[in-house]
Structure 1
């Protein structure tokens, strides 16, 4: 088994070097045998087309944008041991979520997955990708997900990552929405030691809409590195990047969110917003909102807030019979609920809220 180190550029444009937000180091570990894929379970119905192979050159540009350098792109292409194509036919609306569970275990501790989701014109579907692993197994995950939403189609992609605290996790999402299309992405980064998460959404056609919602949890010594971007190309496009995070113990995170208005994106609007609940005195919180503008007639907004639980609210809850731990669990769940409630699958909602409760119960609420 071989491994090598590389550097990832984490900003669309370089900024001041002192905060160390421009780059991130990454150790790439090749699977022993690319034919040994992590276990996968798929739940789907109707006319959905699902394949485990496809022409990797058929979808044009990579879509993951500035966050996947050529070295990582080549690594994924050459070492993929789980490949899926999910295609929703023209005019077809899938009523039930398409659920793909990718499992890592002792027989396949390294998963390199490459997933393509394509919704043809006027189609709609919800796709849920879940990453799980066996207890006590050191695992590594490197993944790429590309989403193509054709004219007037709609896709909601939900990715749930709950790997063990010592796992390695690097994940890149790239999506493109054509004219009149809508792409919603929800990312839940709840596990792994140092998750490297990125998402690049391209609003290509006129009237396209894209929204990215992120839920993240930092506890113990976890270090989260997240880079997200919405690129406006078409006219009158609308985007939003919204994040809700909880930091505890000695965890730290860097959150980069970018609205990039290209020339020709006249009449477009975008908003980026992050809210962080800090439940530990030793946490480290870095937020890097960025607006790039190559067009005059656009609107871009950004906001970021962070803070500890309001003592008055805690006192009120405890005066109603809740202990301090239960009160903080309630506040933490409330902090992420606005995003979690957008997920149509009840079991996924419960898994996210359960992870928050367990983390605080293990001591993460000590401030």
Structure 2
């Protein structure tokens, strides 16, 4: 099917071509989930959640329905706080198109951590699609880490939708390193009072990689809080489109939302597009957004060169530092090592070995 995804909640000028994205000839002929490490406290089910809106939009649900694949549900029972992470490894094969449907449920006053990584051979080509739906109960905490280590010949559709009840917390870390064309959608509904979202995004794009993102934080309950931080590097002829929306809906009084982006440009042919958006239907709220986009400033570069560091080395160090800063927010040492192995060389092979 041909899909339209990543809709901007409030449209801008059509000539900018940022209101939505078209993805052609999407299909699914297999599932890629091959590796599971499931702590004993998790319950694994075959049932599905009630419909949850995701960042990509309804076409992802249509794809799921057409595929005939069932969602796999991982549930943390009420009151259980599990320190060990649930690990899900998706191994994508050359010349295949996969779709995996994952539902995560953290019941009242529980805590759970989920690490999902996507891997393939370095020279493999294909399509990797994953839809993840999340429900966080009252007073619960869910940490979700998703790491893209795919080969540069893959198209990637990574879609997330989540809802959060009273005093529930969602902490997400997304790291994009592999894939050729990467499409990321993420929408979180802060339904309950004093619920919160912390979202950290890191990316390193090289050659002609393209990353298309749509992040939406919907504030519905009172005294809700959201923070969306994106930090990345664009090299060579790579490109990135970031849509970041904070939506204060009626009834979300005393809520706070913040969005920040930091982009390092390391090539004359890179393309960087950013469209921050704050929507407001409530008076007593605070929303902010900011962006730092550009090359290394001359003062920093001079400081490094005075200490024997070349311009090329200086940029490499700063690029690694941005990814490292996001990596440090991953609440799992094994997942941190996975990212560092990819950056250190042997790329997808290392990712597949460690997933």
Q: Same fold (TM over 0.5)?
A: yes
Determine if contact 2:44/2:73 at 8 Å carries over to the other structure. Answer: yes
Q: Which ranges in structure 2 are unaligned for 5 or more consecutive residues? A: 347-355
Q: 2:57 aligns with which of 38, 43, 68?
A: 68
Distance 1:210 1:114 in 2: 22
Runs of 4+ that moved beyond 6 A: none
- Structure 1 residue 13: deviation in Å? 1.5
Counterpart in the other structure of 2:41 = 47
Match of 1:96 in 2: 84
**Of the candidates 187, 205, 217, which is equivalent to residue 204 of structure 2?**
217
User: In the alignment, which residue of structure 2 is the partner of 1:7?
Assistant: 4
The partner residue of 1:79 within 48, 67, 75 is: 67
Alignment partner of 1:319 is 2:306: yes
Which residue of 2 is the match for residue 363 of structure 1?
A: none
- The residue matched to 1:11 in structure 2 has which SS? coil
The answer to whether the 8 A contact 1:80-1:114 is kept is: no
Alignment of 1:199 with 2:186, yes or no, is: yes
1:81/1:111 contact within 8 Å kept: no
SS in 1 for 2:302: helix
TM-score by length of 2: 0.92
Where 1:121 maps in the other structure, the secondary structure is coil
Higher relative contact order (CA closer than 8 Å, sequence separation 6+): 2
Check 1:9–1:312 CA distance in 2 against 1; reply closer, same or farther (3 A cut): closer
Corresponding residue of 2:173: 186
Give SS of 1:29's match.
coil
Please report how far the alpha carbon of residue 138 of structure 1 lies from its aligned counterpart in structure 2 after TM superposition.
1.4
Deviates more, 1:40-49 or 1:154-163: 40-49
Unaligned runs of 5+ in 1: 360-367
Question: What whole-Å deviation, never above 9, does each CA across 1:50-104 have from its counterpart, x for those lacking one?
Answer: 23x22x3xx3232315x312x3311112316574211011110111111111111
Name the residue aligned to 1:230: 217
CA RMSD of aligned residues (A): 2.0
Rounded Cα–Cα distance in structure 1 between residues aligned with 2:71 and 2:220: 29
Distance 1:82 1:104, change over 3 A: farther
Is the contact made by 2:33 and 2:88 (CA closer than 8 Å) also made in structure 1? Answer: no
Could you tell me which residue of structure 2 aligns to residue 365 of structure 1?
Answer: none
The structure 1 residue matched to 2:150, chosen from 123, 139, 163, is 163
1:344 counterpart residue number: 331
Partner residue of 2:349? none
Aligned to 1:27: 24
Contact kept, 8 Å, 2:193 with 2:221, in 1: the verdict is yes
Kindly indicate whether the alpha-carbon contact (under 8 Å) linking 1:109 and 1:137 is maintained by their aligned counterparts in 2: no
- Mapped contact 1:217–1:356 kept (Cα < 8 A): no
TM-score, with structure 1 as normaliser: 0.89
Contact 1:332–1:356, Cα closer than 8 Å, also in 2 = no
